[in-house]
Amino acid sequence: MTTEPIAVLAGGVGAARYLRGAARALPPEHITAVVNTGDDWRVHGLAVSPDLDTITYTLAEAIDPERGWGLVDETWHALASLGRYAAVRPPGSTAATEWFGLGDRDLATHMYRTARLEEGADLTTVTDEIRRAWDIATHIVPMSNDPQATIVETSDYGDLAFQEYFVRHRHDIAIEGVRFDGDAELSPRARNVLEDASRIVIAPSNPVVSIGPIRHLPGVDELLTDRRDDVVAVSPIVGGAALKGPADRMLRELGHEPSVEGIARWYAPIAATLVIDTVDADAAPAVERAGMRAVVTESVMSTPDIAQRLAAVTLSK
């Protein structure tokens, strides 16, 4: 297996689990996660970066294992205390937003990030400071230092900020489209990582709203296409369904097939290899017909050992 630098395009929970496995499969200082920030938003005046934090907390072994986001052994006093103010909030105010769960200990991360950004530090610098505070060896790099918001278009509720769609509506509403607002650039650090990595892994993240925002940044798809032979994607769809989150439903509603074959068509222009789960072994020829080499292995990361073996497969083939 390689000890060259490895880049991982990453979103939320699936990517975090993959990265935890990769950090067991090879020296973590060789791995850099390039992370989606399209889910980032401001709430209570705080800069919250859910995917950066899910990856940080998972690699620090501090994530809540049931939820897959936020900190283990969390308390919720601050959130509960918002109820008093929600009662007097005028119509139209977003003060005292109660539907987004910020735990008491988690709040410290957002307070630190917000204060440092307001001091003029860029998100790459602040993310690295947070990584060091949690004693993590894997590098964690935001896709961009600039804001780029993922907007989910719906007929029932109009345009929704990603967290409104995902958390407030529990991603249980029909969507008509997804777009990315903002003129963000790939961060210089992320560009270096993607150019220098011996292998680029597309983690088993939602292809539309986790990997999509990274691919939307100018030059990223071109860079990946140029490096296509070095790019390996892990299918986020297993047996026709997403393991967590709305990827299958979103793909279907946007007119794509939620299957490993559909994922192969989605990624074929930018990645040569698709890792699929053993339950989809019969679909390997269809993946190859869609233009990607299929590698079949156990990919449902129910334990860190399975995640480690999956990472080893993606990094050795």
- Chain contacts with ligand FO1 (rule: CB under 6 A): 11-12, 39, 48, 50-51, 53-54, 69-70, 100-102, 106, 163, 166-167
Q: Residue 148: which of 188, 121, 178 has the closest Cα?
A: 178
Q: Which residue has the tokens 């296509």?
A: 228
Tokens at residue 86, please?
């929600």
Question: Which of 265, 304, 237, 295 has the alpha carbon at shortest distance from 22?
Answer: 304
Q: What minimum distance in Å lies between the beta carbon of 68 and ligand FO1?
A: 7
CB of 100 to ligand FO1, least distance (A): 5
Q: CB of residue 110 vs ligand FO1: minimum separation in angstroms?
A: 8
Q: Where are the beta strands (DSSP E) in 145-203?
A: 149-154, 158-161, 177-181, 199-202
Minimum CB–partner distance for residue 293 and ligand FO1 (Å): 28
Residues 174-200 as b or e (16 or more Cβ within 10 Å = b): ebeebebebebbbbebbbebbeebebb
Nearer to ligand FO1, 167 or 223 (CB): 167
Phi, psi at 122, each rounded to 5°: -90, 165
- Pairing status of strand 199-202 against strand 6-10: parallel
Between residues 11 and 28, which has the closer beta carbon with respect to ligand FO1? 11
Q: Which amino acid is at 251?
A: L
Contact 5, 193 (CB under 8 A): yes
Q: At what angle do helices 13-25 and 304-316 cross, to 10 degrees?
A: 70
* Three-state DSSP class for residue 49: coil
Spatial neighbors of 164 by CB under 8 A, at least 6 apart, are 152, 157
The owner of tokens 């139209």 is 92
Residue closer to ligand FO1 (CB basis): 187 or 210: 210
Q: Which is nearer to ligand FO1, 211 or 233 (CB)?
A: 211
Hey, what are 223's tokens? 């860079």
Q: Which of 203/295 has CB closer to ligand FO1?
A: 203
Could you tell me the smallest distance in angstroms from the CB atom of residue 163 to ligand FO1? 6
Closest CB to ligand FO1 among 98 and 229? 98
Residue (10 or 313) nearer to ligand FO1, CB: 10
For residues 51 and 261, which CB has a smaller minimum distance to ligand FO1 in the complex?
A: 51
Residue of this chain nearest to ligand FO1 (CB atom): 12
- Distance CA(114)–CA(244), nearest Å, equals 29
Question: Nearest approach, Cβ of 196 to ligand FO1 (angstroms)?
Answer: 27
Q: Percentage helix, strand, coil, to 5, in the chain?
A: 40, 20, 40
